[in-house]
Structure 1
Amino acid sequence: MVILDITTIEDIKLLVNTFYGKIQKDDLIGPIFNEKIQGRWPEHLETMYKFWQTILLEQHTYSGSPFPPHKHLSVNQSHFNRWIEIFTKTVDSLFIGILAEEAKMRGVNMASMFLYKIEYFRDLQKTTK
């Protein structure tokens, strides 16, 4: 079922719920998310609704810094590649349009930045020991 484009909070919820439903079951990155989030999935999903609503719909409902909770995760390029793959396929399976394309671009950029920062802090810890 492809909907034209991402235009409402209901579209954001569909994207986030579908994406994280796949993430939770994924063999590579599912265990990392499930261990980190544990029983707090409803709160995490609510935060993700607000995050993507702010990014894509320019309705400023999210405040905070998305990177710190990810800073100490034991992840590498393969984990981010899988995240991007699942995210892109999820967007493509649900939406077509300018904001759908922006969502994919933002996802790739965010994954690249997170990986860079995680590796930076990991390297920094090695040099300070």
Structure 2
Amino acid sequence: MRLETLAADADEADALDDDVLAALGADDYRFKVWGGDWCGDCRRQLPGFAAALDAAGVPEDRIEDFPVTKGPNGKEGEGVDEHGIELIPTVVVEDGDGEEIARFVEEADVSIAEFLARELAEPEASA
């Protein structure tokens, strides 16, 4: 099953800074996205994030989506326990070796794309 909310909203990609797109498209990052089509935050945020990934030229084979359902004990779905998913949307960015290097959880003062671009730029700033 694929997340419908991870369909790109092309109108939102035009508003993104070139530096954000460059950060998302750099290296061989893999993006793992947990969300639910029933979730208001996901419906509001994921289409813009999908548009950013598309505009950044991230190939589809480096984007994995994991639909989440509400269960009696919290969120349920593939990878939820393994990755400690409690709130959605959650986006985990992994490097080419599968190591987590950035994580967005539910909400921030900027878009998912901008938040992750900041996180991905931090290691470079300290190198």
TM-score by length of 2: 0.31
Higher relative contact order (CA 8 A, sep 6+): 1
Choose between structure 1 and 2: higher helix proportion: 1
More strand by share: 2
Larger radius of gyration: 1
